Amino acid sequence: MGFPIIRPRRLRRTSALRNLICETRLNRSDLIYPIFIDERVQKPIPIESMPEYFRLPIRYVIKEVRQVIDLNIKALILFGIPSKKDEIGSQAFTTDGVIQRTVRVLKREFGDRIVIITDVCLCEYTNHGHCGVLKEGEVDNDSTLEILQKVAVSQAQAGADIVAPSAMMDGQVKAIREALDDSGFIHTGIMAYSAKYASSFYGPFREAAESKPEFGNRKSYQMGYENSNEALREVELDISEGADIVIIKPALPYLDLIHRVKEKFKVPVAAYNVSGEYAMVKAAAQKGWIDEKSAILEILTSIKRAGANLIITYFAKDAGQWLD
């Protein structure tokens, strides 16, 4: 008698069997929904490079968030586009800045029914589009830290549950933790963009947020895509500086890192499924080249399978409608 055929197909025969052995189940509670709030607009403005996505005026945000809550998605990340930009991004930390106003409105309406996360960065607020302040034509780390502290404290004051520093300045998590604690915001969490790559997949976001650098690029602060040990070091530093959650960004080209970070560190890991990843799927789906729903579910599930506990994704509302 020859060796019998081993038959993995046995467990794939019916949908009930496949469901029984399903290893990764995507849930609505895994998803974080990004919202762009534009202080200059009176009605939702479509973002051309992000089909079906809009920049919203503050007064539309309540309606949008009510829909998100009705879909059982319980976390948001907010990005602001101010009416004025300057050298140091001062609209990022004023009490009546676009984000501060939005957070107050949302907290008043929804209280703790939704987790509000705010992006702590300057690129949407500076007239040169860099994530920090300039000194002799370079992005200056330590003077940027002082501004990031003000941004984070002003967002916490408005009611943000979690702040998400995304400028990739050295020491930003430590500086922000200290500033929050000194101002009494010991319960405000930090979700750090620890491993943020200088990626071509941010293109559509930069159109949406009008945050393209006026000169040069972000390679002196964001990481090169060739490296992964460097990302582990960044994650380790951020955890030691007080990060509560760490982010890997983008998601799909960096699934290996999501996996390595999850294996090595015991903190919640978030993956940012960025604007370019969204745009590619939407564009191909519009052409009829891929099936949108199954592609999106496959992508999000693969990010979770790699090890992400949380996924920041522009697909959150789509997926929210499809998941059971």
CB of 214 to ligand PBG, least distance (A): 13
Nearer to ligand PBG, 109 or 225 (CB): 225
Element (H, E) at 45: strand 45-46
Element (H, E) at 298: helix 292-306
Neighbours of 295 (CB within 10 A): 17
Closest CA to 238 of 307, 134, 168: 168
Q: Which residues pair with 31 in a beta bridge?
A: 311
Query: In this chain, which residue has its C-beta nearest to ligand PBG?
Result: 205
Tokens of 192: 């750090």
The rounded distance, in Å, linking the Cα atoms of 231 and 264 is 12
CB of 194 to ligand PBG, least distance (A): 13
Q: Which residues pair with 119 in a beta bridge?
A: 164
Nearer to ligand PBG, 103 or 274 (CB): 274
Angle at 168 between CA 230 and CA 105, to 5 degrees: 140
Nearer to ligand PBG, 64 or 277 (CB): 277
- Our answer to whether residue 196 is catalytic in this structure is yes
Q: Name the amino acid, one letter, at 27.
A: N
Q: Which of 85, 196, 262, 304 is catalytic?
A: 196
Nearer to ligand PBG, 49 or 227 (CB): 49
Nearer to ligand PBG, 86 or 181 (CB): 86
Nearer to ligand PBG, 117 or 239 (CB): 117
CB of 311 to ligand PBG, least distance (A): 12
End-to-end, the C-alpha distance of the chain in Å comes to 47
What is the contact surface with ligand PBG in residues (CB under 6 A)? 119, 121, 123, 131, 166, 202, 205-206, 211, 274-275
Q: Which of 85, 150, 249, 262 is catalytic?
A: 249
Cα Dmax for the chain: 80
- Asked if 167 contacts 124 with a C-beta cutoff of 8 angstroms, the reply is no
CB of 272 to ligand PBG, least distance (A): 6
Write the DSSP assignment of 101-160 as a string of letters. HHHHHHHHHHGGGSEEEEEE-STTTBTT--SS-EETTEE-HHHHHHHHHHHHHHHHHHT-
- Asked if 61 contacts 18 with a C-beta cutoff of 8 angstroms, the reply is no
CB of 178 to ligand PBG, least distance (A): 22
Q: Which residues are catalytic?
A: 196, 249
